[in-house]
Structure 1
Amino acid sequence: MTREDEILERLDRLEALMTPMAQSARAMNEFKEELTPRVNELVKHVIVELAEIDSDFQLSDLTRLGKNMLRNINNINYALNQLKNAIDFVDTAEPLMKITVPYYIQRLDELEQKGVFNLLTAGLTTLERLAETYSAEEIEQIGTTLVNLTGALQKLGTPQAASFLDHMASIPGRVDIAELEALGAVDLFKAMADEDVRKGMGLLLQLTKAMAPPA
């Protein structure tokens, strides 16, 4: 192989190596030509947007913000940890809420259909009227009276008291006022022979004794 052939072979190898590089450079130039207008548009858009806040934003504000963030880095970390805990709680509670929320919605719907909320509304209206009519001291006194009456009603709930009240409530139905007659001392004496009269007198004596105030 002559000297000229060796030089030509080397030139061919160099050309083979340079061709891909030239193609890459050509592709980069084409990409640059396509990207440059887009970058220019983006820069112009950013400039326009920044111009709108130019009067409200100063570089010193950004510097101050950075300093405050560095000074409060512990607080920021704490806030992020609390936010993470809140997210973990929501993730944990979500399955339970999917079960309990529909249940309570159904219960509230049942209470509404039964008129419970209407009763509560009426109760609140009554409380508003009491507040408008009576002073706080008078309402407190009314409350004390209701507590005492509740104690009395509790005593009336015993079997003996319920039986006695039931018996007393039946008395008007067994008395015919149209047949009442005036009685004298002799008639009262004769009536004592009736066992029912004697039982009634015994009951009156027990009631009279029970009504005596405690010592």
Structure 2
Amino acid sequence: MEEIKVNQQIESINKKLDVILEEIELQRRHRREMEDLKDDLLRVGKDIYDTAIVELEQVHDQVSTKEILHLGKYLLRNVSTINRSVEQLESLKDFLTDVSPLVRESIMDFMQKLDEYDKKGYFEFAKELSNVTDNIVTSFSKEDVKNLGDNIVTILNTVKNLTQPDMLHTINNALNVYKQLDIVVSKDVSIFKLMKELNTPEVKRGLGFAIQFLKNIANPETNNHMENKPLNKSIN
């Protein structure tokens, strides 16, 4: 009976020894890993240190230790600002991600519109218009442009008067009358026939209108006073 107890105790001791040996092995393995890590860190740290020495050697005349410390303190004081900046960058990234499809669609629509304009001939028209502009520029001198600028008010007033409804109506009527004229002049026109025609009311009114029109054109003061006013004078 006692022998059984002794064997059980020995077995229990062996189990505990196995656990202790496993723990020792784990500790040894952990120590080996830490030593390997330390060696790796030392090598990396040495490389970083050597690289830092070389790089700092190139800028030691421009940078001092005091400035580096000041920069470190400045960064520490503005950690919250840096965090907000990073958050804003993240928000900007999210915004660009969301807006990219819209921008892509807008670009496609723009390209389609350009293609439509090209098919309609807008670009060819612009090209020819550029040629027209070149012809205008090469056909007029600097003095011509200066004179145009000096007389632009008169030109605009003339265009304004020509585009008045009553003036356009009169011009249109004159053109219609001209198109409908069917005048046949006899070859043997005598002075007596001309004198007879001059006595007709129609010819008198026409001559009177022509004479009064020429007088008004030849008199600048009359033109200034009669601008935008109907002609009421008649010739007796």
User: Does TM, scored on the shorter chain, surpass 0.5?
Assistant: yes
Paired residue for 1:163? 173
* Distance change >3 Å, CA 132–CA 192, structure 1 → 2: closer
The runs of 5 or more residues in structure 2 that have no matched partner are 1-5, 217-221, 230-236
Q: CA deviation at 1:38?
A: 3.8
Q: 2:160 aligns with which of 144, 148, 151?
A: 151
Looking at structure 1, the residues matched to 49 and 180 of structure 2 have their Cα atoms a distance apart, in angstroms, of: 100
Paired residue for 1:94? 103
Q: CA deviation at 1:20?
A: 1.8
* Alignment map for 1:35-46 (pairs within 5 Å): 35-46=41-52
- Shifted more, 123-132 versus 45-54: the winner is 123-132
Q: CA deviation at 1:199?
A: 4.2
* Alignment map for 1:115-194 (pairs within 5 Å): 116-120=126-130, 122-123=132-133, 126=136, 132-133=142-143, 138-155=147-164, 158-165=168-175, 167-168=177-178, 179=187, 183-184=190-191, 186-191=192-197
Show CA shifts across 1:74-96 (max 9, x none): 8x969x86996798489276155
Looking at structure 2, the residues matched to 160 and 57 of structure 1 have their Cα atoms a distance apart, in angstroms, of: 87
- The one-letter amino acid of 2:59's match is I
The runs of 5 or more residues in structure 1 that have no matched partner are none
Q: CA deviation at 1:155?
A: 3.5
* Distance change >3 Å, CA 121–CA 41, structure 1 → 2: farther
When the two structures are aligned, how many residues end up with a matched partner? Answer: 203
Q: Which structure ranks higher in relative contact order (CA pairs < 8 Å, sequence separation ≥ 6)?
A: 2
Looking at structure 1, the residues matched to 47 and 104 of structure 2 have their Cα atoms a distance apart, in angstroms, of: 49
Q: CA deviation at 1:57?
A: 2.5
Q: CA deviation at 1:187?
A: 2.5
The Cα RMSD (Å) is: 5.0
When normalised by structure 2's length, the TM-score is: 0.56
Q: CA deviation at 1:147?
A: 0.8
Show CA shifts across 1:160-213 (max 9, x none): 312304545887x9577x9585x43x32344469xxx76455444455566765
User: Share of identical aligned residues, percent?
Assistant: 10
SS at match of 1:147: helix
* Alignment map for 1:42-81 (pairs within 5 Å): 42-62=48-68, 63=70, 67=74
Asked if 1:113 corresponds to 2:121, the answer is: no
